[in-house]
Structures are given as structure tokens and as C-alpha cells.
Amino acid sequence: MKKIIQFTLALLCSLCFSLLAFAQCGTQFTPQDIEKLNKYRDSISSLVRDWKRTRGVRDVPIKFHVAGENSVSLWLIDEQVKILNHIYINANLRFIRYDEPNYINDDRFNDYQIYMEDDLALTHEIPNVINVFYVDDIPGYAGYTYMAGNYRSNRVFISKKYMENKSTLAHEVGHFFGLYHTHGKTNDAPTDEYVSRIRDADNDNKKDCLTTGDDCCDTPADPNLKTHKGYCNSNCTINNSPSRVDPNGDYYKPMVRNLMSYNPYKNCRDTLTVEQLMRVSMIAKNERASLKIPDEDLRTGKKVAGRVVFTMTNQDPMPVTKDINLYRFDKLYKWGDSFTFSATNNSDISLNMYIINWGTSGTMNLLYPVKRYGEEADIKTDATYSFPQNFKLTGKPGKDYVCFLFSRKKLNEVKLTQYLQDAEGNFTQRLYSVIGENSVFDLKLLPFDEVDYREGNTINFSGFLEEDEILPVMVEMEWQQ
């Protein structure tokens, strides 16, 4: 059974798409783009085999520019960011709106045409962030973007006519991170993909679905829903009446809810598959690594710093290496090993600290503070908290997680632990989906680019913390029998 990740889109206008003439995507993949993406096929396949593994989360800054006569509210822009995060956290990406939207007052762009792009973008775009330009209309298109590799590669253009469906921006961001349409690498041509998921026409021991269509075997072959829109129902179900078959005579059953499809009911595009998500993750790491919050973004929060130390019971150090913002122990530990840890606040201000463990049993445990023991979250300047007992690795081997959360505000740690338990995904995905999206906390995790994480025998960190931010220190321990 296909494993898929689904996200729910709250609709502002559930049927507005049927009132608009179909506007296709304007993104074009050049032969050079396709060649570049082809080199990641084997790496993506390896990533898919280990897709449940917890990984660090990469922050992606996104700057919004609004041109034309019709304005776009900050609320609607922030809703778009929430949707991006709800989708792409499953690819270990978090989008951060960079600064306030840039409202461009220039009559030249009231009737935007694609040939005007450079005149608009070169004046306003910010280096090393995704620049989203909302324009009143893009004749014939709902939006377009580019792959990495040229001076236009950090741009996404969206027609305001297609904002309210809430999938157009997410669709173009998919292209930005290397996703093709589900029917293939062109916009209008019929698919070159067969329905069979095991076909190997050239006997090279590689399934054809890895090199045809969208290069993802867990997206069913799609004959191109622009041409064959009869497969799509307005209630987002598939209509099996069309009898379109591939050259082998097998019937197409496209995934009409896939975000990267040409379903004309754009509100229905609410699904990405595991292979698509891992492709996004791979391209983000290798082709979009330059995306970062600009250095001139001066922090106004309080300077904070601290240290976390894990030590074996015999006093041996437990060195760590970081994967973005997730620490992993350098050593594979064994059943029966025993260790402890401590955390120190080296800031000039008191901090609240919360420690949560997610073990191999699948249960979230609040390690600190535990009110029945009289513990308080507040950690004074230069104070050290030492866990009062040793951890002994027993039970089911696998991977354990310990997460330290440092904040200036007090949290409802019991609610937080329960929300993490009820969330979906691996540990980092749960943490990032709960904090920032959940109105119960009204807080956000400090962007990775704004924390100095250091690795070695001890975990040292520093950053500038606003009132509404949390600095996370996440640690993974793998152990065996």
C-alpha cells in the first residue's frame, strides 16, 4: 500500500476554481535542469528507504513582494506560510517569512507580463531567500518559478487570482525544490510513463517509473489531467469513468489529489508522496543550500547561551555531531549502558528550561520540570541542572530522543508533551509542527541560522532570543542489543 503524507487545506472559497478558466503552471524544466536532477536519483532512492529517520530541520526564508493594483493582506500571506510549513515539514523544511511584505507602488506592473520580470525583480529581490512576487495576473498562467542555477533561480511568481485556492504557491515551491508535474517533465505533452510500477523495458534492473513521468514510483502514472480532466470530481474524488489506457492497455488511475498534478480543482491538490518529499529534501540540501536569513537581519532579542553535557556513568565523555540542528552521538551505544546529563544557563538572564524524552516505546515523557517533585522551569544565570539519576538503556533497542527547550516565557509543559505525543511524523517534525502552528503556545522555534550550535564532547549554544521564541537542543541516541 502506498505511503502518503496528506495535509488538509482550509478553504476560503471552495468552488472558486471552477469559475476561473484553467491556467496552467508556467514553470519550464530545461534539459540542463533535468540533467542536474537526474544525478540525484540514486541518492533519493536511498533516502526513501530510510524516510522515517529523524533529521534536522532546514529553515527557508521567504520574502513576499506585492505588485499591481490589488493588495494582499498580511493575514493571507501568513496563511500561505502556514500551508507551506504544514506540507513541507514532512521534507524537514520550515519556511520563515522574512521581514514585512514589500508592497510595490509602481503603475508599470499593474498589467504584468512575463517580459517585465527582470524590471520588477532585479530592483526588489533579496539575495539568498525565496522571493515570491504576487502580481494581479500572469496571462495564461497561475504561477511559475525556476530551478537552481541561474540569476532568476530564487524567484516565484504567483497570480493573485490563484491565491485563495491555497495550493498554487505550494505547487510552485514544489518545482522550486525539484518536483516535476505528476504527468512528467513538460507542461502539455502526454506522459511517457506506463501504469506498471515494476516495468523494466531495457532490463537495466531499474524500474522504468524511476526515469519516466515524474521519476517517482509512488505517484501513479498520470495521463495529464489538463487534457484528461474528466478524471477529476469537484469533491476531490477520482472519476473512474475515463477509459484512458497506456500502450500496454493498462488503465490510468492518477492521484487526483497530488499537489503536483494538473487537477483543475486546485483545492483538491493536498497530497505529496514519500518519494516526492524525499526529493524535495535532497534538492534543498544540495541545490538550495545558499538559502539563509540575511546577515544584516539584526537581532533585537536577549543574548542567551548555555551548555548541555552527556556523560557515561564511568565519566567517559559522549561526543556528538550535528545534522543541521539535530545532534547525534558519535558512538553506537548498547543495551545496559548507563549515562546522565546536565544543562547550564550561561546567559545574563534567567531562562525557563523544559526537557522532553521520546523513547523507543513511542511515548513522550516530560523529564523536567516535574511538579510533583517540586521542580520549577526557571534556571538562573550560571546555574546548572543535573539530572538526579542515571539512565540505563533497557527495553526495546532503537533510537531515543532528548529535547531541551529554552525560553523566556513559561510554557504549559504538560500540554506541550501531550501535543507532541498526538502529533504525526518523526521527532523533529512533531516538534516543528506543534510549536509555531498551535495557537495554544503562540511561540516559535528560533531559526537555525540565528543559533550558534557547536559540537564535540559538549553541546554549546548561543543566540538572541525574543519573548515569543524557543531555542531547541535536540539529541538523538541510537543503541542496540
- For residue range 165-218, what is the model confidence (pLDDT) as tens digits? 889 999 999 999 999 999 999 998 899 999 999 999 988 888 999 999 999 999
Element (H, E) at 461: strand 459-465
pLDDT of residue 2: 42
457-460 LR contacts (CB < 8 Å, sep 24+)? 457/309, 457/317, 457/318, 457/319, 458/307, 458/308, 458/309, 458/317, 459/307, 459/308, 459/309, 459/320, 459/327, 460/305, 460/306, 460/307
Render pLDDT for 237-275 as a digit per residue (tens, 0 to 9). Answer: 999 887 799 999 999 999 999 999 999 999 999 999 999
Render pLDDT for 405-428 as a digit per residue (tens, 0 to 9). Answer: 999 999 999 999 999 999 999 999
Q: Is 94 helix (H, G, I), strand (E, B) or coil?
A: strand
Assigned C-alpha cell, 402:
532528548
Residue 42 — pLDDT band, cuts 50, 70, 90? confident
Give residue 473's identity as a one-letter amino acid code: V
Widest CA span of the chain, in angstroms?
A: 72
Render pLDDT for 373-386 as a digit per residue (tens, 0 to 9). Answer: 889 999 999 999 99
Q: Which of 17-26, 119-128, 411-420 has the lowest mean pLDDT?
A: 17-26
pLDDT of residue 238: 94
pLDDT at residue 49 is higher than 90: no
